Amino acid sequence: MSEVVEFEIAEDAQFFAPVSADLIDGLIGQYQQARQRIDQLAALVSGDLGNVIHYFIDGNCGDDRLHRSIYVDRLFKPEGAIAALNAAYWSKAMGLTDVYDAMPQKRRDEWNEQIRKHETPEFEEDTVRATIMDLLNARSKFFAERVDGIFRSLSHEHVTNCPQGFGKRMIVANLFNFYSGGHASSNWSRMGVINDLRCVIARFMGREEPKHYATNSVIENGRRHRPGEWVTLDGGALRIRCYLKGTAHLEVHPDMAWRLNQVLASMHPTAIPAEFRTPPKRKPRVWRMMSKLLPFAVIALLERLKPAREPYQKGYETYYRDIPLG
């Protein structure tokens, strides 16, 4: 066991990216042009042209008779097209800032559901500016909500999880959805909760946050290639061990655990005992934690690297093999 490397938490670090007040001007103009074209097309179809469009659909669908069930009056209803347009441009507006990445996973889930169902409000300039500004101003609140969301997502079926706050060992379940035949698909929402934990830890360490999807591949690869083995993340601030059944064991460094409990206590002041939200009096002998780490953007690039390959001839066929390192 190695001694912990000392580092200073960046208490006054700039937590969020600066945002220009006029980022949405161009987006509003693009939206208004698209909205005008939708209205123009709907007006054309509702007139004399609508009487012949069904011949195009009927004559060009070939053997795919499904298209014949798409009636012109329903296909070109402006209400549905405008709802889809609103959702698309709200999504674009969120992408202009770091708000979406700063959101806790629960809020991202709610936002994604509105986008998917086309239930967003009208993309009007006053509404857009007011909503984006409210979200930007709420980013500090999102930080506490992330910590609370992480704690609430810990499995209630495992006694290892500490009910008084974050402990050394935590368990998150249901990271995969299982289907008949043994097939599994990733549960992005549950994985996003673990990524929220990494984002909070990154802020404690004075680092930029990873993207909201950054931990998905860590969990998927851990379950597929290293089930039951510890994988160290973020310089030793966090370790994760994934299992085939879709659970993950997490261990946070004690220097991270009490800070997480401090934030949790700000939302639930009577629920977290003092000993859980103060630095340990004795330095525990735990795994080594490093303070000088690569930026997440660099890590993401390294993660996408693939082995170099070289061609070789076998008879008349050309094959490829990985070039060994060293």
pLDDT at 10 over 50: no
pLDDT of residue 7: 42
For residue 310, what are the β-bridge partners?
Answer: 321
Question: Which of helix, strand or coil describes residue 95?
Answer: helix
pTM: 0.70
Whole-number percent of the chain with pLDDT over 70? 78
- What is the reported pLDDT for 69? 56
Same domain, 199 and 132: no
| 267 within domain boundaries | yes
- At residue 274 the predicted structure's pLDDT band, cuts being 50, 70 and 90, is low
Bigger pLDDT: 209 vs 268: 209
Residue type at 109? Answer: D
CA angle centred on 172, ends 168 and 178, rounded to 5°: 155
Please give the pLDDT value at position 71.
Answer: 66
* Cα R_g (the chain), whole angstroms: 26
What pLDDT, on a 0 to 100 scale, did the predictor assign at position 5? 43
**Domain edge (last residue) among 137, 157, 177:** 137
The whole-angstrom separation of Cα 262 and Cα 151 is 13
Residue 113 sits in the same domain as residue 146: no
Average pLDDT, the chain: 80
Averaged pLDDT for residues 174-181? 86
pLDDT at 20: 55
| Residue closest to 263 by CA, chosen among 316, 181, 208, 197 | 197
Residue 62: enclosing H or E segment and its boundaries?
Answer: none
**292 and 167, same domain (yes or no):** yes
Sign of CA dihedral 33, 34, 38, 41: positive
Read off the tokens for 174. 């249901």
Instruction: State residue 162's pLDDT score.
Output: 61
Query: What value does the mean pLDDT take over residues 217-230?
Result: 92
Contact present, 205 and 196 (Cβ < 8 Å): no
Q: Which residue has the higher pLDDT, 237 or 50?
A: 237
More confident residue, 168 or 235: 235
* Pair (185, 299) in one structural domain: yes
Q: Which of 120, 137, 154 is the last residue in one of the domains?
A: 137
pLDDT score, position 22: 67
Do 170 and 279 have their domain in common? Answer: yes
Between residues 82 and 45, which one has the greater pLDDT? 82
Among 112, 137, 162, the domain boundary falls at 137
pLDDT at residue 193, rounded to an integer:
92
**Is 170 within a domain?**
yes
Expressed as residue numbers, the domain containing 51 is 25-137
Determine the pLDDT at residue 2: 39
Helix extents (H) in the chain: 25-46, 50-60, 72-75, 78-95, 99-102, 105-116, 125-137, 139-152, 188-204, 216-225, 254-267, 296-303
**CB of 10 closer than 8 Å to CB of 206:** yes
Asked if 179 and 205 sit in the same domain, the reply is: yes
Expressed in angstroms, the distance from the first to the final Cα of the chain is 30
pLDDT of residue 247: 92
Average pLDDT over residues 230-255: 91
My answer on whether 225 and 171 are in the same domain is yes
Residue 95: which of 32, 26, 162 has the closest Cα?
26
Rounded Cα distance between 88 and 74, Å, is 20
Q: Is residue 271 part of a domain?
A: yes
- For residues 48-77, average pLDDT: 70
Tell me what the mean pLDDT of segment 297-307 comes to. Answer: 76
> Which of the 8 DSSP states describes residue 278?
S
Summarised one tens digit per residue, pLDDT across range 186-200 is: 999 999 999 999 999
Whether residues 165 and 29 share a domain: the answer is: no
pLDDT at 288 over 70: no
Residues 105-117: tens digit of each pLDDT? 999 999 999 999 9
In a domain, 50, yes or no: yes
Q: Report how far residue 239's alpha carbon sits from residue 286's, in angstroms, rounded to the nearest whole number.
A: 12
**How far, in Å, CA of 252 to CA of 169, rounded?**
7
How many domains would you assign to the chain? 2
